[in-house]
Every structure is written in structure tokens, then in C-alpha cells.
Amino acid sequence: MKREFIINIILLVIINLLIKPVYIFGVEARIQNLVGTESYGVYFDYFNFVFLFQFLNDPGIQNWNAQFMPKNREIAGYHIPGILMIKGILALFFIMVVLLSSLIVGYSDQEIIIWLCVNMILSTLFMYLRGTIA
């Protein structure tokens, strides 16, 4: 077990060392050159701003789900609709807080911020559903 774990960790580090430089210096740099540094910087700024509020979108539900589901498979189905409803309410609250905060800060492009919020919501929903099914 220990040997297999160490091999997997080493493999993971090697793959990261191979792929990340290619992505950063190949893909990322090419995208930045295509859209321009100003547009790329604005997107990066908006993305990080939305990411600051991610704790409102998923305040530990994913972690709780990862522990609860394997231990309680027989009653897990009863919790899924309620959790999805809570995630929906949190998603609406997340969007409202991010939009209000972006107006206070002075960000002008609300459409990009909404799309980034939707991206974060769908990402956390995917992670939740993946943890529920697995």
C-alpha cells in the first residue's frame, strides 16, 4: 500500500512538471498574446474577484458530502434533494453578493462577472454530484 502510494505521488509530480510548463508557456502565453494583455488582465482580475466569494457558494457542503455519502449510502438519497435546494439558494445569494460587491468596487462589465459566477456555480455543482455518485 505504501509503495503504491509513493509511486502514485511520484507519477503525479512528474506529470505536473511536464504539463504545467507547456500550459503556462504555450497555451496561456498564446491566449494572452491573442486577446491582449489588457483584456487578459481584466479577465484575470474579474475571475479572482468572483473567486473571493466562493466560500458563499459552497461553505463546506462538498467536504461534508465527501464524508457523509460513503458512510451512509442507504439514506443518502433522502439528503440529495435538500442539499440541491440549499445549493440553489446559496448560488442565488452568491450571485447577488458578487454583483452588489462588484458595483460597490466599480467594475463595469457585469456580464463577464455573471458568467464567471455561473462557471463557479456549475463547477461546485459538478463536484457535488461527482462526490454523490462516486
Query: What average pLDDT does the chain have?
Result: 89
Q: Which of 36, 76, 62 is nearest to 126 (CA)?
A: 62
CB 107 within 8 A of CB 93: no
- Non-local (6+) Cβ contacts of 9 within 8 A are none
Share of the chain above pLDDT 70, in %: 98
As a whole number of angstroms, the distance between CA 104 and CA 12 comes to: 42
Q: Which of 101, 93, 90 is nearest to 52 (CA)?
A: 101
What is the SS3 assignment for 1?
Answer: coil
pLDDT digits (tens, 9 = 90+) for 59-94: 888 888 888 877 777 777 788 888 899 999 999 999
Share of the chain above pLDDT 90, in %: 49
CB 93 within 8 A of CB 58: no
